[in-house]
């Protein structure tokens, strides 16, 4: 009984603590759905926050803008956030952040100093995408209102996911992967980019949602390749597909090849299994890339998909040749244009040939330029869909 | 007027100790006076002097019976008529030395006749509806069973409802209740040990068990506790719960009560004992574990898969009933990141125009729901329908439309309320209903941390509980392999019965 009394006493006195802690009703918070960074004209950081307008979340939402874009500047990222809070009625809450966008300019100068905040700030320690813009500023991209959903960030993420899962030319990179790659002295960071074309000013108004014509076209664009946190260049869509094939990141992809009668054959490539093996013989490193996948012939402009061995062999050979060429071209581009290991083979050397890598770490990029890389593509035709 | 008042005051109230062991007078008149005085000349007491005559002798008898408690046709036609007829036709004089014996064995050859000599017993028999016959010149009386009061027929169980299975429920009648058990278990090892408890109410109590299955030590303990019970009156079997329970203080019920004979039989087979209290349609079963309260008779009548699914559903219901409001509060007030973003937006949207803070909102809504359910239980049926309308319209529609509460909150509280109603045992359901407020309070003050601590304290408490020495969470903590067959899952009936075939009941499994 005494224990029970003490328990009750503790419980009652705990009532005095009511109101402490990070307690706040969910509807009194301001949700930042995306954060972007543009180059500041002053010597500092420029943060763009896309803020969800709580008034559109009610069951019968009024015709008002679903998101608000707020810009602030500061000496650090947190400084920007604090300045941002001055402009808003309630406390911002980062825990529901879904995307971080770096503009092309910022990416070229380096994203290292930005990322530190996202690692250490407790509200930002969860999973969200990191992307870059191409040809436009982060502010322009984030202020585009979508016809399809009230929340533009959701549309961007869905687009990115579709491009990654169904077409293979994009990459979803989460903050943890970005930070890990930036911190380690091996591996390579690549980020998908998003671009917008058309009338960007008109795209910022909700009036465009009343028109059938999409005024600003938002696209998933090339993949940006980084070195030491700085954007070094772009991979086109074909190159991106080849890049993802090398890294076993393809769920599905499409490829069109030439038929024997001047026709075109479209194929669905799926169930990809790629493997990278590295080898050091006589201090000579080499890389082997084995790519296996299934092929489903989905369209033939000659209107006939033949169920013949010769036809299958032809399709297989053409796909093999085309993809091998794409990958080899990409390797050549890496060696001659980027002049460093854009594929992150260094990670494999670090893991499987640590002694060699430790010894040659400093001249790795030089060695890479002459490193033999063997590509072996094995397509396997699934049953024909007639 | 003055005299009347005086006589009323004069009529002294006798304490139990004064008559309980008092031997009868040998004069019938004195006895009659004493009994009618003790009972305060009650209008339903029929007490008078009868004189039996034949050619050989004349005997004065005292006759007493309670009208209403006894079967008057039986008393007049069977007892008195026969007695008079037989006595008249006697062809010899009864010797004084074997007068009582002669009366008991020859003149009143009925099935249930007892000879006693104390006023305590006399009054007890009389108030049980028996017919009392006192013989002049002897300090003893004959008690002839003639109970005949109106009792409720055996009806369908109202609280422990099940679709399948027996439709009989216990009644208020002691004998009927025992017979309902006997009817189902024709086993000579079924023991029914009776006690009379309660100095004022003299209530009949039966301890029922199966010899060999029920632990001897346990029975000794129960016997000790029943004999030590110093209770003045017993109105319902629930009174006994208080006197039988362990020393531990707990809000959770440690004795199970049911109105279904088949549940009692099941319990007896598992090595438990049952206690039947005269006048109460609820029979107590102990020792019990937490999972017993989540068990419905139907679980065993259904297919294994269905039975198990129902059991799991009930466990989830308990989880919903206990934790849902607290978990929702943790999310809404402290850690909204635990939900997917779309859900967060949806909840935020619903809460945007609600003026009350979320904690006040949930406490008020829970309280309103409890008010409605409690009112629904106690209301006469005709008013109940009106009540459900009021509840549905006022809380369901008007409050949401007026933005007083959010619809998400209503969903949470409704699911929570339905969870409590899904628990088959009424007492456990009530307990869970109030325990959830503690957890909710902890969650409101300390967030997820408080929630976790509250759940932890609850678990520690449940694990520490004992029902007649058996751990409350038995099949799970401590782990009892055989018990697991009938806990979260219901094993196929064959396996369950095979388990119970062992000499010791399932509850006695060593762990």
Contact criterion met (CB below 8 Å) for B116 and B138: no
ipTM above 0.90, yes or no: no
Phi and psi at residue B460, to the nearest 5°: -60, -40
SS3 category, B127: helix
In whole angstroms, give the CA distance from residue B244 to residue B254. 10
Neighboring chain B residues of A1 at a CB cutoff of 8 Å: 249
| B278-311 pLDDT per residue, tens | 889 999 998 888 988 988 888 888 888 998 999 9
Which strands, in side-by-side order, build the sheet including B45-53?
Answer: B45-53, B58-66, B131-135, B141-144, B113-116
Which residue in B442, B445, B448, B449 has the most chain A C-beta atoms within 10 A of its own C-beta, making it the best mutation to test that interface?
B445
Choose among A157, A92, A83: nearest CA to A124: A92
Please give the pLDDT value at position A11.
Answer: 67
In whole angstroms, give the CA distance from residue A149 to residue A134. 23
CB contact under 8 A, B249 and A23: no
In whole angstroms, give the CA distance from residue B474 to residue B196. 33
Choose among A80, A259, A112: nearest CA to A179: A112
Of B346, B357, B441, the CB nearest to A25: B357
Neighboring chain A residues of B249 at a CB cutoff of 8 Å: 1, 4
Which residues, in sequence order, are bridge partners of residue A254? A268
Cα Rg of chain A (Å, integer): 26
pLDDT at B326 over 80: yes
Encoded tokens for B439: 């957890």
In whole angstroms, give the CA distance from residue B442 to residue B440. 5
Q: Name the packing angle between helices B304-329 and B358-378 (round to 10°).
A: 140
CB contact under 8 A, A58 and B353: yes
- Scanning every residue of chain A, which has its alpha carbon at the shortest distance from the alpha carbon of B352? A27
Contact criterion met (CB below 8 Å) for A259 and A345: no
- Scanning every residue of chain B, which has its alpha carbon at the shortest distance from the alpha carbon of A13? B445
Farthest CA pair distance, chain B = 105
C-alpha distance from B364 to closest chain A C-alpha (Å): 16
In whole angstroms, give the CA distance from residue A281 to residue A283. 5
Of B333, B334, B445, the CB nearest to A14: B445
pTM: 0.78
Please give the pLDDT value at position B2.
Answer: 47
CB pairs under 8 A between A and B: 77
Neighboring chain A residues of B454 at a CB cutoff of 8 Å: none
In whole angstroms, give the CA distance from residue B194 to residue B128. 15
Choose among A19, B124, A66: nearest CA to B132: B124
DSSP output for B51-82: EEE-SS-EEEEEEEEEBTTB-HHIIIIIIIHH
Q: How far is CA A77 from CA A35, A100, B96, in A?
A: 11, 12, 115
SS3 category, B193: strand
| DSSP 8-state class, residue A336 | I
- Scanning every residue of chain B, which has its alpha carbon at the shortest distance from the alpha carbon of A52? B345
Compute the Cα dihedral for B35, B37, B40, B42 and give only its sign: positive
| A145-191 pLDDT per residue, tens | 888 888 899 999 999 999 999 999 999 999 999 999 998 888 889 99
Please give the pLDDT value at position A22.
Answer: 59
C-alpha distance from A138 to closest chain B C-alpha (Å): 22
SS3 category, A63: coil
CB contact under 8 A, A98 and B352: no
Choose among B195, B172, B192, B198: nearest CA to B273: B192
Angle at A197 between CA A195 and CA A202, to 5 degrees: 120
Neighboring chain B residues of A154 at a CB cutoff of 8 Å: 341
Angle at B89 between CA B88 and CA B93, to 5 degrees: 80
Neighboring chain B residues of A64 at a CB cutoff of 8 Å: none
Contact criterion met (CB below 8 Å) for A373 and A285: no
In whole angstroms, give the CA distance from residue A329 to residue B505. 78
| DSSP 8-state class, residue A299 | E
CB contact under 8 A, B445 and A58: no
Encoded tokens for B339: 């939900």
CB contact under 8 A, A96 and B334: no
Q: Please write down the HEC assignment for all residues of B332-395.
A: HHHCHHHCCHHHHHHHHHHHCCCCCCHHHHHHHHHHHHHHHHHHHHHCCHHHHHHHHHHHHHHH
Please give the pLDDT value at position B13.
Answer: 58
Q: How confident is the model at residue B510 (pLDDT cuts 50, 70, 90)?
A: low
Contact criterion met (CB below 8 Å) for B122 and B143: yes
Of A7, A15, A27, the CB nearest to B445: A15
Q: How far is CA B403 from CA A367, B43, B52, B392, B444, in A?
A: 69, 64, 86, 16, 22
- Scanning every residue of chain A, which has its alpha carbon at the shortest distance from the alpha carbon of B359? A25
Please give the pLDDT value at position B511.
Answer: 47
Domain ranges of chain A: 2-235, 240-384
In whole angstroms, give the CA distance from residue A63 to residue A71. 23
Reading phi first (left if > 0) and then psi (alpha if -120 to 50, else beta), residue A76 is in beta
- Scanning every residue of chain A, which has its alpha carbon at the shortest distance from the alpha carbon of B453? A11
- Scanning every residue of chain B, which has its alpha carbon at the shortest distance from the alpha carbon of A5? B249
Contact criterion met (CB below 8 Å) for A92 and A33: no
C-alpha distance from B149 to closest chain A C-alpha (Å): 46
Residues of A with CB under 8 A from a CB of B: 1, 4, 7, 11, 14-15, 17-18, 21-27, 29, 31, 33, 52, 54-59, 61, 93, 95-96, 98, 126, 151, 154
C-alpha distance from B495 to closest chain A C-alpha (Å): 42
For B310, residues 6+ apart whose C-beta sits below 8 A from its C-beta are B296, B298, B299, B302
In whole angstroms, give the CA distance from residue A173 to residue A170. 10
CB contact under 8 A, B350 and A52: no
Strand B58-66 and strand B131-135: the pairing is antiparallel
Neighboring chain A residues of B332 at a CB cutoff of 8 Å: 25-26
Neighboring chain B residues of A24 at a CB cutoff of 8 Å: 333
Neighboring chain A residues of B348 at a CB cutoff of 8 Å: 26-27, 29, 31, 54, 57
Neighboring chain B residues of A58 at a CB cutoff of 8 Å: 349-350, 352-353
C-alpha distance from A15 to closest chain B C-alpha (Å): 7
CB contact under 8 A, B354 and A17: no
Encoded tokens for B112: 């249930």
pLDDT at B11 over 60: no
- Scanning every residue of chain A, which has its alpha carbon at the shortest distance from the alpha carbon of B345? A57
Contact criterion met (CB below 8 Å) for B351 and A27: yes
- Topology (CATH level 3) of domain A240-384: GMP Synthetase; Chain A, domain 3 (3.30.300)
Which residue in A10, A17, A20, A25 has the most chain B C-beta atoms within 10 A of its own C-beta, making it the best mutation to test that interface?
A25
| DSSP 8-state class, residue B23 | B
- Scanning every residue of chain A, which has its alpha carbon at the shortest distance from the alpha carbon of B348? A27
SS3 category, A9: helix
C-alpha distance from B393 to closest chain A C-alpha (Å): 20
DSSP output for A113-176: HHHHHHHH-GGG-S--EEEEESSS-HHHHHTPPPSS-S-HHHHHHHHHHHIIIII-S----BHH
Encoded tokens for A108: 């070229």
Encoded tokens for A288: 């082997």
Please give the pLDDT value at position B166.
Answer: 86
pLDDT at B330 over 60: yes
Neighboring chain B residues of A11 at a CB cutoff of 8 Å: 438, 441-442
Q: Please write down the HEC assignment for all residues of B232-276.
A: CCCCCHHHHHHHHCCCCCCCCCCCEEECCHHHHHHHHHCCCEEEE
SS3 category, B143: strand
Choose among B454, B242, B439: nearest CA to B329: B439
| B31-84 pLDDT per residue, tens | 888 888 888 888 888 898 988 888 888 888 999 999 888 888 888 888 888 888
Mean pLDDT by 10 residues, chain A (386 residues): 79 59 75 92 91 86 89 92 88 87 94 89 85 94 88 92 93 92 87 92 84 86 92 93 93 91 91 92 92 91 83 91 94 92 91 92 90 93 66
In whole angstroms, give the CA distance from residue A371 to residue A365. 10
In whole angstroms, give the CA distance from residue B142 to residue B134. 6
Phi and psi at residue B488, to the nearest 5°: -70, -30
Task: Return the percent helix, strand and coil in chain B, to nearest 5.
Answer: 55, 15, 35
Of B336, B352, B438, the CB nearest to A54: B352
Neighboring chain A residues of B354 at a CB cutoff of 8 Å: 27
Strand B273-277 and strand B203-210: the pairing is antiparallel
Which residues, in sequence order, are bridge partners of residue A46? A38, A73
Which residue in A12, A26, A30 has the most chain B C-beta atoms within 10 A of its own C-beta, making it the best mutation to test that interface?
A26
In whole angstroms, give the CA distance from residue A326 to residue A336. 15
Encoded tokens for B150: 């109106």
Q: Name the packing angle between helices B407-422 and B358-378 (round to 10°).
A: 40
Of B249, B337, B348, the CB nearest to A27: B348
């Amino acid at each position: 009984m005494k224990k029970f009394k003490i328990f009750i006493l503790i419980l009652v006195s705990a009532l005095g603590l009511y109101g402490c802690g990070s307690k706040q009703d969910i509807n009194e918070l301001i949700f930042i759905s995306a954060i972007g960074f543009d180059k500041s004209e002053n010597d500092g950081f420029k943060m763009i926050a896309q803020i969800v307008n709580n008034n559109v979340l009610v069951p019968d939402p009024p015709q008002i803008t679903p998101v608000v874009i707020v810009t602030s500047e500061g000496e650090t990222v947190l400084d920007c956030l604090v300045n941002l809070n001055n402009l808003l009625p309630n406390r911002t809450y980062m825990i529901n952040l879904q995307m971080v966008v770096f503009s092309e300019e910022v990416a070229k100068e380096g994203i290292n100093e930005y990322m530190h905040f996202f690692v250490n700030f407790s509200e930002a320690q969860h999973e969200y995408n990191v992307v870059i813009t191409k040809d436009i500023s982060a502010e322009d991209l984030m202020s585009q209102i979508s016809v399809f959903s009230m929340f533009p960030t959701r549309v961007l993420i869905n687009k990115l996911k579709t491009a990654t899962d169904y077409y293979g030319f994009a990459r979803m990179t989460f903050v943890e992967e970005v930070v890990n790659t930036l911190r380690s002295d091996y591996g390579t960071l690549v980020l998908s980019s998003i671009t917008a074309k058309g009338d960007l000013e008109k795209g910022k108004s909700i009036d465009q949602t009343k028109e059938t014509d999409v005024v600003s076209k938002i696209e998933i664009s090339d993949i940006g390749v980084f070195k030491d946190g700085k954007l070094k260049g772009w991979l086109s869509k074909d190159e991106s597909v080849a890049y993802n094939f090398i890294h076993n990141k393809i769920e599905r992809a499409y490829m069109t090849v030439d038929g024997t009668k001047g026709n075109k054959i479209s194929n669905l490539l799926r169930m990809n299994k790629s493997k990278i093996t590295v080898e050091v013989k006589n201090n000579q490193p080499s890389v082997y890339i084995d790519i296996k996948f299934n092929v489903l012939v989905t369209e033939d402009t000659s209107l006939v998909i033949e169920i013949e061995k010769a036809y299958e062999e032809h399709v297989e050979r053409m796909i093999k040749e085309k993809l091998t060429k794409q990958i080899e071209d990409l390797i050549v581009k890496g060696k001659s244009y980027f002049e460093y290991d854009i594929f992150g083979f260094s990670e494999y050397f670090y893991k499987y040939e640590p002694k060699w890598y430790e010894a040659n770490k400093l001249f790795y990029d030089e060695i890479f330029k002459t490193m033999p890389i063997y590509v072996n593509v094995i397509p396997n035709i699934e049953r024909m869909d007639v | 007027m003055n005299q009347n008042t005086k006589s009323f005051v004069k009529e002294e109230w006798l304490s139990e100790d004064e008559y309980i062991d008092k031997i009868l007078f040998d004069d019938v008149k004195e006895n009659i006076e004493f009994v009618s005085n003790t009972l305060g000349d009650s209008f339903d007491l029929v007490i008078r002097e009868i004189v039996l005559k034949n050619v050989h002798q004349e005997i004065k008898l005292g006759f007493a019976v309670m009208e209403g408690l006894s079967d008057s046709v039986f008393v007049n036609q069977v007892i008195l008529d026969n007695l008079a007829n037989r006595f008249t036709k006697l062809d010899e004089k009864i010797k004084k030395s074997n007068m009582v014996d002669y009366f008991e064995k020859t003149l009143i050859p009925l099935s249930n006749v007892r000879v006693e000599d104390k006023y305590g017993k006399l009054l007890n028999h009389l108030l049980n509806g028996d017919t009392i016959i006192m013989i002049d010149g002897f300090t003893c009386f004959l008690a002839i069973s003639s109970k005949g009061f109106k009792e409720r027929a055996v009806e369908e169980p109202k609280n422990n409802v099940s679709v399948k299975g027996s439709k009989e429920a216990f009644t208020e009648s002691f004998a009927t209740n025992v017979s309902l058990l006997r009817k189902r278990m024709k086993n000579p090892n079924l023991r029914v040990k009776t006690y009379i408890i309660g100095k004022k109410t003299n209530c009949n109590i039966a301890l029922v068990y199966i010899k060999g299955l029920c632990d001897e030590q346990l029975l000794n303990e129960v016997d000790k506790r029943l004999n030590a019970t110093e209770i003045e009156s017993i109105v319902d079997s629930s009174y006994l719960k208080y006197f039988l329970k362990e020393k531990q203080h707990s809000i959770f019920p440690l004795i199970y009560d049911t109105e279904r004979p088949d549940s009692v039989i099941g319990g007896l087979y598992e090595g438990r004992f049952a206690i039947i209290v005269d006048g109460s349609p609820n029979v107590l079963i102990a020792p019990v574990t937490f999972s017993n309260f989540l068990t419905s008779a139907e679980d065993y009548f259904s297919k294994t898969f269905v039975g198990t699914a129902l059991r799991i559903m009930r466990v989830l219901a308990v989880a919903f009933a206990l934790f849902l409001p607290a978990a929702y509060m943790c999310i809404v007030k402290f850690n909204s990141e635990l939900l997917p973003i779309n859900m967060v937006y949806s909840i935020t949207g619903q809460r945007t125009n609600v003026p009350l803070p979320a904690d006040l909102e949930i406490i008020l809504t829970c309280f309103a729901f409890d008010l409605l359910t409690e009112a629904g239980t106690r209301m006469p049926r005709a008013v109940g329908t009106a009540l459900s309308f009021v509840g549905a319209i006022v809380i369901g529609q008007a409050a949401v439309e007026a933005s007083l509460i959010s619809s998400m909150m209503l969903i949470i509280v409704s699911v929570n309320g339905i969870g409590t109603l899904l628990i088959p045992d009424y007492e456990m359901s009530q307990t869970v209903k109030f325990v959830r407020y503690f957890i909710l309070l902890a969650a409101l003050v300390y967030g997820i941390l408080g929630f976790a601590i509250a759940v932890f304290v609850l678990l520690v408490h449940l694990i520490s509980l004992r029902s007649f020495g058996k751990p409350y969470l038995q099949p799970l903590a401590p782990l009892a392999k055989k018990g697991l067959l009938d806990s979260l899952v219901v094993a196929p009936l064959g396996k369950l019965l095979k388990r119970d075939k062992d000499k010791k009941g399932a509850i006695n499994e060593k762990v």
